[in-house]
Amino acid sequence: LRHEGVYLLKIWLHMDFAEARRRLKKLRQSDGALRRPAVVEWDEFESEKDRARLADAALEMIERTSTGDAPWAVVPAADPRYRDAAVGDLLLQTLTRAAGDGRPSPRTLAIAAPANDLPKPSLVSFLDLAQGADRATYAQELRALQQRLTEATTARSFRDRGLVIAFEGNDAAGKGGAILRVREALDPRRFRVHGVAAPTDEERARPYLWRFWRNVPRRGDVAIFDRSWYGRVLVERVEGFAAPQDWMRAYQEINDFERELDENRYTVVKFWLAISPGEQLRRFQDREAKPFKRYKLTPDDWRNREKWPLYEAAMTDMIDRTSSRHAPWTIVEANDKKFARLKVLQTIVDRLEEAGRA
């Protein structure tokens, strides 16, 4: 079809089982609802094992049939407003490309799906960044979650598993503070924090993911990445450090990397800490005003701030293309640091407890 000049738009509307079940139940109870649909719905799969097999089949379908000129676009469907805006934007992008391009070029067919320069709905614009933690109970909630994390990572069932945590987010979003609260709950002998900066000459001489593979922990241990393998589709994309065909290809390579970790009994937890431009400016100014914080602020931070829309577009593409059942993204509303720390801990604990029951 593409060689014949047909543009394909394939959309997967993603929703977790609990939300799908709730909506289907509500639909079937409404007046005039279809009592017996013509197809088998997801909530009719009774066992957790069957639902997991169905989710795996869907993910495999997406990964195996997402090609350079016919990629799948995965759209989170929990929020109807974001879903509708994202689908409309995808349709607009496809029609705009079709109107301005007569026939596909051989080079385009050989690489992954290109990201568009057209405006797109932002995931962050649909977040409630005003959410905050209850100051009166914060310390108690923090201690309780840290205790659960300690228990989860010292349980017998964790001995043959591993935990890999990746932190991404806006500059000054509070990644360091969130990582500190996670570290406090872990056995110092059983975890490492890897700060990810520009690759060394040794790392440049090898495939991109090599430096992350070599830091995968042994089973029973934890690896925390302050920045991660997603730099290829974020900073390297925005700053032009990677050629377009390289960062376009990276989405599939990253999905394969995380799938292999999951298949080898590693729990992969990924966070994007989101703050508003106004909150980022306030934190920058606070760092600038306090001598003991100035080391945290660099000229690159101000320069990156000027490219906020480009980084936001890259982040949206990243989450759309690399959030899977076995390695989902969690977007953390981080204008309130205490709220963000609690959400990070709660997410890690939930994922570990779920893995322990599997």
Closest CA to 209 of 263, 264, 258: 258
**Pair of tokens at residue 17:** 């089982």
The pLDDT of residue 166 is above 60? yes
pLDDT reported for residue 128: 86
pTM of the model: 0.72
**Pair of tokens at residue 35:** 């009592």
Q: Which residues make beta-bridge pairs with 195? A: 226
For the segment 15-70, what is each residue's pLDDT rounded down to a tens digit?
877 777 787 777 777 765 555 554 556 556 667 788 788 888 888 898 888 877 78
pLDDT reported for residue 37: 54
**Pair of tokens at residue 159:** 């001995």
Give the integer Cα–Cα distance in Å for 258 and 328. Answer: 10
Query: Percent of the chain having pLDDT more than 70?
Result: 87
The pLDDT of residue 233 is above 50? yes
Give the integer Cα–Cα distance in Å for 234 and 117. Answer: 15
Other Cβ atoms closer than 10 A to 328 = 17
Question: Which is more confidently placed, 189 or 296?
Answer: 189
pLDDT reported for residue 112: 47
**Pair of tokens at residue 161:** 């598993």
**Phi, psi of 76, rounded to the nearest 5 degrees:** -60, 130
The pLDDT of residue 118 is above 50? no
The pLDDT of residue 5 is above 90? no
State mean pLDDT over 138-167.
Answer: 97
State mean pLDDT over 336-355.
Answer: 96
Residue ranges and CATH numbers for the domains of the chain are: 10-121 (no CATH), 138-357 (3.40.50.300)
Amino acid, res. 213: W
Give the integer Cα–Cα distance in Å for 130 and 124. Answer: 12
pLDDT reported for residue 107: 39
Q: pLDDT category, 331, cuts 50, 70, 90?
A: very high
The pLDDT of residue 14 is above 60? yes
Please list the alpha-helical segments (H only) found in the chain.
17-29, 48-65, 80-100, 106-110, 138-154, 175-183, 201-204, 210-213, 235-239, 244-263, 277-289, 299-306, 308-322, 337-357
Question: Which is more confidently placed, 148 or 125?
Answer: 148
C-alpha to C-alpha distances, 279 to 113, 227, 320, nearest whole angstrom? 34, 20, 25
Q: pLDDT category, 127, cuts 50, 70, 90?
A: confident
